[in-house]
Amino acid sequence: MKTRILIMGTGPVAVQLGVLFHRYLQAEVAFVSRSHVSMCSKQFVDAVRQAGYIKATVQNEQHLKLTGEMTPSNVFPSYEAVEGTFDLLVLACTADAYTATLRQLPDSVLQQVESVLLVSPTMGSNLIVRAALQTIQPNVEVISCSTYLGDTRVTNADHPHEVMTMGLKKHLYLGSSQASSAWMTCLAQLFAQIDLPITCVSDAIEAESRNSSLYVHPALFMNTHALQAIFYGTKVPFYVYKLYPEGPITMDLIHEMREMWQEISAILQAMDVQPLNLLRFMVEENYPLRPETMDTSRIAQFESLPAIEQEYLLYVRYTGILIDPFSTPDVQGFYDDFSAVPFRKISQNQAGIWEIPRMPYEDYYRTKIIQGLGRTLNIETPMIDVLLSRYETALQQFNSEQPHLKKSQQFFPQAFEDDMACIQQGLNAH
């Protein structure tokens, strides 16, 4: 009997995963859409109905193992419409939507699910999902990825069922809520087949913590310069990874980044999880530096160095990737402008409602959840508190200046009460 997989989501991530599950697991793959409330989701449903397939291509030939096409076994028009039995439920939506998504699925479906895969969780998502499912399916296994496997996009808006993966991560971490997991083995084998190195760790929250954006995005996106660019725009492009005034990176920003890393490390230690050597993670698993830029012994010793030296090394790391240090210079000696990633400004969706870009809104949710973990564990997080307060103040200021704009809920400070309650419940049972 074929493995049956249900993917919650209809975006590029969902399509790429659907192709992989079909190609390497020979699974029957169904999708759940929000076509009754989302224009993008409706376009996906219509495109699949018309074409009869979904398709994944790649930008680079070395990633051909990610390509393929398949016919979904079903594309449900809404969560409530889902029926049938599934072995694996894949949450390919943003982490802030996990609990709301699960609560809209029929209990009869959830009761039959053996395992749930969280594709892009935050630190604490595994706890939250298990707590949310406790009364419906108390024995469910929840597996967390450290992050999504790559960078996948829709390249033609008229064909949302066809996606292209532009790049693949260097390394992923997987962690399960159960000590023995057939699905962990299965997923690790799948990722090995596409040449993606995997580390299976003993605790799901350890896997969730192996994502550098948790540590660096709040400082990069929740400073006054970045918030100005996001909410009001700038006369010329303002770049995420450049030094001030071309971008937001200053000594103060680096100090805030280091402080947040320390606070997350304290939370991990309280949960008996090994903290991250942030600098080594950045250099080895994100973007490497030339060996001439920084000695490897300093990277290895990063956690034990004085605070001021840690900040110096983090600053050097960002200067070392202002250009792509491994690119070929042009005839004038200029290397690829690697750090020229502009801040995205707020924009209107197809329904005319203003929305905040995924960065920083997704980072806001993730950081609120980390703050909630700290509070539940009685760990002070003064830097996280400052970053969140700064972001929420920017929301309130924008709302007071633009009261008549049609805005999404993203523009209002949120407590995420349901997820916070799940954290408390999950930690009490941890």
Contacts of 386 (CB under 8 A, 6+ apart): 256
Query: Rounded to an integer, what distance in angstroms lies between the CA atom of residue 190 and that of residue 175?
Result: 15
Tell which phi-psi region holds residue 277, choosing left (phi > 0), alpha (psi between -120 and 50) or beta: beta
**Angstrom distances, CA of residue 38 to CA of 12, 34, 129, 240:** 15, 6, 24, 29
User: Is 217 considered catalytic here?
Assistant: yes
φ, ψ of residue 347 to 5 degrees: the values are -150, 170
SS (H, E, C) 91-158: ECCCHHHHHHHHHHCCHHHHCCCCEEEECCCCCCHHHHHHHHHCCCCCCCEEEEECCCCEEEECCCCC
How many other C-beta atoms lie within 10 A of the C-beta of residue 139?
Answer: 8
Q: Are 214 and 121 in contact (CB under 8 A)?
A: no
Query: What is the number of other CB atoms lying within 10 angstroms of the CB of residue 157?
Result: 8
Catalytic residue among 22, 161, 217, 255: 217
Q: Which residues touch 331 (CB under 8 Å, ≥6 apart)?
A: none
**CA–CA dist 172, 188 (Å, integer):** 10
Q: Are strands 28-32 and 162-168 parallel, antiparallel or unpaired?
A: unpaired
Alpha carbon distance, N-terminus to C-terminus of the chain: 35
Give SS3 for 385: helix
Residues identified as active-site? 217
